[in-house]
Each structure stands twice: as structure tokens, then as C-alpha cells.
Structure 1
Amino acid sequence: MAAPVNLGSPVAAQPPTTGTSYRAALTLLASLFFMWGFITVINGTLLPHLRSVFDLSYTQTTLIESVWFIAYFFASIPSAKLIERIGYQKSMVVGLAMMAAGALVMVPAARIPSYGVTLFALFVIACGITLLQVAANPYVAVVGKPETASSRLNLVQAFNSAGATLAPLFGGYLILGRTTSGTAAAGAAALTPAERLADAQSVVLPYMIVAAVLAVLAVVIARFPLPAMGAATQRSAKADRKDQSLWAHRNLVFGVPAIFIYLIAEIGVGNLFINFVSQPDIGNLTHQQASNYLFLLWGGMMVGRLIGAFAMQKVDAGHALAVASIGAAIVMLVATFTTGHVAMWALISVGLFHSIMFPTIFTLGIRGLGPLTEEGSGLLIMAIAGGALVVVQGWLADIYGLQTSFLLTAACELYILFYALWGSKPTAALPEQRL
């Protein structure tokens, strides 16, 4: 695992400013969760488009998403140091500016067109999202009662899912709906060079729109009167941590691979969904039609997180995670071993079971870390890089078939079940940190 990260985040036990100011800050954070969910899931419609434009294998297609999540590994530590140096508000502005710049780079990438420049543009966007993520998740987790941390993070993550839910409709209409490959029937003849060039340029308008929205949001945040965090942003004193070890906390030690493995499952389903349901023996849909069903997958995640936000105020988070992992494993096996609409709807339904997994694993992972919460949060955020291993599923799809590759997802759900039942139980628990 990666080295501990100094988040410089608001996780030290200091009294907050007013509750009203924090509610305003959380509302603003919700808009950021929405935007990075929206932009991340645009990839779900972008990947089948790029697969047709560049005539890519499944391995090459999922490599695009791997580059996206590799950014989490490389950008997490620099992001944490930047937040410590210039503060939260300026860091959010920088992150949004980076995302806007990456979106603009997609314009020349489409006009050339260039697979390499596309990879670079997506990497820049992902680095900007990483900067936002490093601060937002631990902030929301500790800005209230520890026992309702999972509920709180599920609620804010629902805005992330709302963005993810709308993204397939946006991408389906402005990307897939305006291309030859996106509107062609499954199994249609390969594109001509002229059609490839025309299809490639279809991403220019949507990414210019995305860049404009990000720029506006950056200006809003720069001018927004966020509460000064003051002493609450400082790391706990070294004396409080010198005799403590992260490795003594079972819930963190097993939580980092749980986040890593969960991301393989979530991203694999989202990014291969359109190709899967478009197959003649599954949904027999065009890519544009399939993007409308991807909307339902992410919509299920939004609904599940809203339900989880309220249910986990009374239901044990570990028990809820166990139920979700069992349900996810079952529907993935159905999607793997059946055909037609049964397989298609099984894959759609996994979004409902995946919904609570990331926020619940995150809050279980930092439970009882006390003054080590900052370092533990950093490790969990870096574990998002697990999404880069979606390329393994692409390789399995090339060798054994796309449907068979979803056995990897089912195996990931089993590890989440192990974590829920045993790995998430705190050991050597310390006094909780909260704002």
C-alpha cells in the first residue's frame, strides 16, 4: 500500500464554526460530488464511442479508464500537499480549473483525432477530480456524529450518483446519438475513414459545454464565503500519534483493499455496460439506446444511497454492507450465466447494491483511528486507483468473452462480504475525531 498521506484535512478534534456555515459548505460540496460523478460516468458513453473510432480491443478500451484511475495514485499525495499549502477553497478552484483544461484538450484530441492525446486529456481531468476527492470525503465523514458518518456520506454521495445518472443521457444524446457508430445496429460493418473522422469530432461540443460549466463553478467557489477552517484544518499533534500505528487497525488494513477491489467491480460494470447490453443475445440495442439503460444503472445507485442515508441511521453499517455484497454477487452471476433481458436487467440492478459500498467502506475504514484519521483517509482515497485494474476485465473479455469477464466482478463482491462480516471490525480503536 502507499505511504500515509498528510491531508491537511479538517479531521482534527477542534470546535467548528456555526452549524449554518457548515451546512452551506456541505451544500457546496454536494455540487462538486455531482460534477465529478457526472464527468466520470461520461466515460461510460465515451468508451464505446472511442472503441469504434479507433478500432480498439476491449483491453485497449479499458486502458482508457485505467489511465483515468491511475491519476488517483499519482495525484493524491501532491493534492494533499497543495491543500495544506493553499487551503481548501483555492484547491477546489485549482481542481476545477484542471478539469476544465482537460476537457478543452479533448477538442484537439477529437479533431486530430489522437488516441494518445485523448488519454492525456482524461488523465488531466482525473487529476483535478482527485484534488477535490482528497478533501471532500474525509470532511463529510467527520463533520458530525461518528455513528452517523456512513449515513452522512451516503447522502452526499447521492448527489454524486445524481450526476452519474444524468451523464449517460447527456453522452447518449450529444455523443452516441450524433455518430454513425452510436446509431448503427449491433454487428454493423466497420466504419469508413470518413465516418471515423466525423464520429471522432462529435465529442467537441459536449466537452466544450463541460469545460464552460466547470469554469463557471470555479468562479462561484472562488467567490463563495466558505467558513474559515482555522485550527480545525491542522493535523493532530505528533505526540498524539507517535505511539500509534495504522497497521494495528484491522478495519483500515482490510478497508484499503476493499475500496481498491470495489472500484474494479463498479468501474468494470459501468464501462462495459453499453457493449454488453448491445450484444444481439442480450439486449440487441444500438449504443445510443443502451446509454438510456446505463441511466437506470446509475439511477439505482442514487436511489440506493438515498435509502442508505436514512436506513443507516438505525441499521448497522457492516450489516447493510454484507446484505448489499450478497445481492451484488447474486445478480452478477445471473448476468454472467443467463441471456436476453434477464441478463440485462440483472446487470442494471447491480447499481442498487453497489450504491452504499464506497461511502460505507470509507467510513468503516476510518472508524476508531482517532489522531490517525488523516493518514487513514489518505490511504483510502489512494485506493480509488483500483479502478485502473478494470483493464484486467478488458483482457478477460478479449480472451474468454465479455459476459464471462463479469465473473471477476462477482469475485470482488465476495471480498466486500468478507470485509463487512469480519474485516471492518475495529481493533485498537481510539477516540473518534470530529469537527
Structure 2
Amino acid sequence: MLTTLFFLWGFVHNLDPILIPHLRRSFSLTVLQAALVDSAVYIAYFVMALPAGLLIRRAGYRCTIIAGLLLFGIGSLLFLPAADTHRYAVFLAALFIIACGLTLLETAANPYASLLGRPERATQRLNLAQSFNGLAAAVAPIVGARLILVEGASDQQLQAMTATAQQAALAAEAASVKGPYLVLGLVIFAIAVVFYFIRLPEPERKAADPDERVAGAIGRAWRHGPIRRAVIAQFFYVGAQVCVFSFFILFAASAAGLSQVAAADYLGWGCGVAFVVGRFAGTCAMKYVAPARLLLVYALLCALLSVVTMFASGMACVAAVIGMVFFMSIMFPTIFALGIADAGASTEMGSSLIIMAIVGGALLPLAFGFVSDATHSLQLAYGVPLACFLVVAWFARTVLAADRLAPIPPLTNGALKRV
């Protein structure tokens, strides 16, 4: 059931790259204005992450998951009045409410997956659960493109229409989101009912002081070096991921001349499959390579592919982005698990702080859109992900340095016998 949640939030997040070109056409938006879709989603993580951590401390993981599912379902159903009124602001509000629910789910499910098992396997276990998030990244664009990116009037036909007829035609195109999000909302409510009736084990963990003030708990978590550095790294990683996925359809259409549906297929079969294969492959590789070392190598390879994307042409750019997605695949869960490792009573608030860092997905796509509009080039805007991957490489390097400086524990009699 926990893995189901990873799939669900991956599915709805990967509908956003479909919504961006769809709403951009329906409301005649610039790239920067279309990036507000990401801002509406990822600003919710900044707003709701700390309340989510407090809810986990007071009510437990199960109640937090149910509350998240209810918000998720309500936001999905709000797409119906958003389409009926044909107002961009209502769409953004619906996305914000969905993201508030996702914040509760991610704040609970990520540390819960880490805690359910042996500590030394936490990173590998979380990567395995997140692999189903990657599976959703492959499925959502393919399904969403065929349900949402409907064939409407051409640009020439729209220009020939009166203002009233043009508005009616665009409103009819915008209404294509109603069916998919209605079904999604009903499915989410059904899963919330299942979570209400099942029993989830509470993992054994060091209990936080119930009398400790919230500010004190936040400050203690922030003073934990790995958490603080993970917050910074996650901010830039999520910003890079959102830039790469959300603008892929616009990028592929511009750089390689693909249609929107064809670009969506490349997003699903190319980026989505690369993402899920990368997650499973990375999980297996962590049996033999330290997670921080693998993260460092992957971040540097992503930076190199960002440079290729900026200056190559045609399908070579698309191939570089797909390769970038493969190496991005392990970054979120690995940063998360390395950040809260050995955090003790700071685990819940540390998890909240790392989830708050997802606000990078609200801010950095705006920088991407600004660079794109200013240079009239989506390719040059990949300088924004390039800088982000260098920050992730810095984080991995600090973890490796800390591991080398960690004191070697004394050998006990039991350890001597095993040697």
C-alpha cells in the first residue's frame, strides 16, 4: 500500500508536463507564465511541509497519509469547475490543493519507507519504493497526452474566428481535463478508504520530547549537518528535475521539430522508461557502490549532458535529455535518505525540512522560463539544471568526506570473532 502512494504522486506530477503546453495554448501564455503551473504545485511543499511533520509527530503516519489522500482527491475534483469557468487561476488553485495533499503523503511515506527495516538498507529500500514513482513517470505522459492533448482548431483557424468563437473553442479544449481528473479523484478517495481500514505498523524510532517547542525541534534538525546540506541539495535537484520534465514537450517540439503528442511519447517511452530503469539499476548498484559515491558520479554526468543539451541540435538534444533523466533517477531518494540518516528524534522535522526544499520546483522553473524568454532559446535555459547538478555533486562530496572522517568504532569480542 505504501508503494502505491509513490506511484500515485508520481503519476499526477508527471501529468504536469502535459498540462503546461495544454494550458499554454488554452490561455495564450508565455513560457514564464506557463511555469506558474510548477510554482502552484511546488510552493505547496514549502507551505505544508512543517504542518505535515507536526501532524506525523502528533497523529502518526497513518492519519497523515489519509489526510494527504483526502486533499489529493479534493484538488483533483476541483479540475471540473476550473474547466467549466475556464479560468487559469482556478486551475492553479486546484493544483495547489493537490500538492498540499502530496506534501502530506511524501513527508510521511519517505521516512516511513526508510524506517521500516534495517538502517543500513534504508537508502536502497527507499530507492526501491521510489522506483514505482519512476514507473508512473513512464505511464503518465503516454496516457495523459491521449486524454488531455486533444486535437483542436489550428492556429490559422483560431485566427480566422471571432473573439467569442475563439474563446469558446479554447474553452472546449481546456475541458478535456475533466474526465481524467474526475477518475483520478475517485480512485484517490477509494484508496483513502482502504488506508482507513488497514493497520499500519508504527516503526521503532527514538521518540521526540513531547514538550519540546516546534521552533526548538526545527532548530535542532537544521543544526544536524547532513539534514542542512540535504535541504540545499534537494532544493536544487527538484528544481532541475521539474525544469527537465515540465518543459520537455516544448523543448522537443522546438529543438527537434516533434509534434506535441510525439514529444509526449518521447517523454513517456524515453524519459519515463529511462527514469524507472535508472531507479531499479541504481538500487541494484548500491549493493556494490556507496550511495554517496554513486550520487556524485551521476550528478557530474548530468552536468555534462546539460552542456550537450545546450549546444547540440536535433534529436541529439532529445537523446541527451533522456540520458540525463536516467542519471537523475536516484537523486531524490538518495539525498533524502542520506540527509535523515542517524537523525534520531530529528527524523520527522528533518523530513519536513527536506520536503520543504521541494519549493525549488516552484522557483527554478521560473528562472528557466525567464532565460528561455530572454534568449528565445529553450536549449540555453538548460544552464539552470547544469548549475543545479553541480550543487548535488557538492552534497555527495560532503557526505563522502564526512564518512572518511568518521571515527572507526572499537572492535568488540563479537566483531573480533566475525573477523
Q: Give the structure 2 partner of residue 324 of structure 1.
A: 298
2:315 counterpart SS class: helix
Matches within 5 A, 1:224-303: 224-227=198-201, 229=202, 232=205, 234-235=207-208, 245-246=220-221, 249-279=224-254, 282-295=255-268, 296-303=270-277
Q: Distance in 2 between matches of 1:248 and 1:215?
A: 39
Amino acid at match of 2:372: A
Does residue 1:210 correspond to 2:188, yes or no? no
Amino acid at match of 1:289: A
Q: Provide the TM-score with structure 2 as the length reference.
A: 0.88
Does residue 1:422 correspond to 2:398, yes or no? yes
Aligned pair partner of 1:387 in 361, 364, 387? 361
Q: Deviations over 1:331-381 (max 9, x none)?
A: 111111011010111112211010011111111112233333333222111
Amino acid at match of 2:306: M
> How far off its partner does 1:306 sit?
0.6
Amino acid at match of 1:129: L
Q: Measured at CA, do residues 64 and 106 of structure 1 come closer, stay the same or move farther in structure 2, by a change above 3 Å?
A: same
- Runs of at least 5 residues in structure 1 that lack an aligned partner in the other structure: 1-27, 431-435
Q: Measured at CA, do residues 130 and 245 of structure 1 come closer, stay the same or move farther in structure 2, by a change above 3 Å?
A: closer
Pick which of 136-145 and 31-40 moved more.
Answer: 136-145
Q: Measured at CA, do residues 188 and 351 of structure 1 come closer, stay the same or move farther in structure 2, by a change above 3 Å?
A: farther
Q: Distance in 2 between matches of 1:113 and 1:245?
A: 46
Conserved? CA contact 2:238–2:360, under 8 Å: yes
Aligned pair partner of 2:69 in 96, 119, 124? 96
- Runs of at least 5 residues in structure 2 that lack an aligned partner in the other structure: 408-419
Q: Deviations over 1:226-263 (max 9, x none)?
A: 23x28758426889x99x95455432222211000001
Q: Measured at CA, do residues 84 and 373 of structure 1 come closer, stay the same or move farther in structure 2, by a change above 3 Å?
A: closer
Q: Distance in 2 between matches of 1:370 and 1:97?
A: 30
Q: Provide the TM-score with structure 1 as the length reference.
A: 0.85
Aligned pair partner of 2:323 in 326, 330, 349? 349
Q: Deviations over 1:42-65 (max 9, x none)?
A: 011011100000011111111121
Q: Distance in 1 between matches of 2:59 and 2:119?
A: 28
Matches within 5 A, 1:2-401: 28-176=1-149, 178-180=150-152, 192-227=166-201, 229=202, 232=205, 234-235=207-208, 245-246=220-221, 249-279=224-254, 282-295=255-268, 296-389=270-363, 390-400=365-375, 401=377
Amino acid at match of 2:94: A
Amino acid at match of 1:403: Q
Question: Quick one: percent identity of the two aligned structures?
Answer: 38
Q: Deviations over 1:367-413 (max 9, x none)?
A: 23333333322211111111111111111111112111111111111
Amino acid at match of 1:263: V
Q: Distance in 2 between matches of 1:80 and 1:422?
A: 26
Q: Distance in 1 between matches of 2:63 and 2:347?
A: 23
Q: Give the structure 1 partner of residue 386 of structure 2.
A: 410
Q: Measured at CA, do residues 233 and 110 of structure 1 come closer, stay the same or move farther in structure 2, by a change above 3 Å?
A: farther
Conserved? CA contact 2:205–2:344, under 8 Å: no
> How far off its partner does 1:120 sit?
0.5
> How far off its partner does 1:81 sit?
2.6
Conserved? CA contact 2:222–2:350, under 8 Å: no
2:103 counterpart SS class: helix
Conserved? CA contact 2:115–2:203, under 8 Å: no
Q: Distance in 1 between matches of 2:111 and 2:122?
A: 10
Pick which of 106-115 and 418-427 moved more.
Answer: 418-427
Q: Distance in 2 between matches of 1:194 and 1:143?
A: 52
Q: Distance in 2 between matches of 1:403 and 1:105?
A: 34
Amino acid at match of 1:418: W
Q: Deviations over 1:105-131 (max 9, x none)?
A: 111111110001011000000000001
Amino acid at match of 2:256: G
Q: Measured at CA, do residues 230 and 140 of structure 1 come closer, stay the same or move farther in structure 2, by a change above 3 Å?
A: closer
> How far off its partner does 1:303 sit?
0.8
> How far off its partner does 1:423 sit?
5.1
Q: Distance in 1 between matches of 2:221 and 2:79?
A: 41
2:247 counterpart SS class: helix
Alignment RMSD (CA, Å)? 2.6
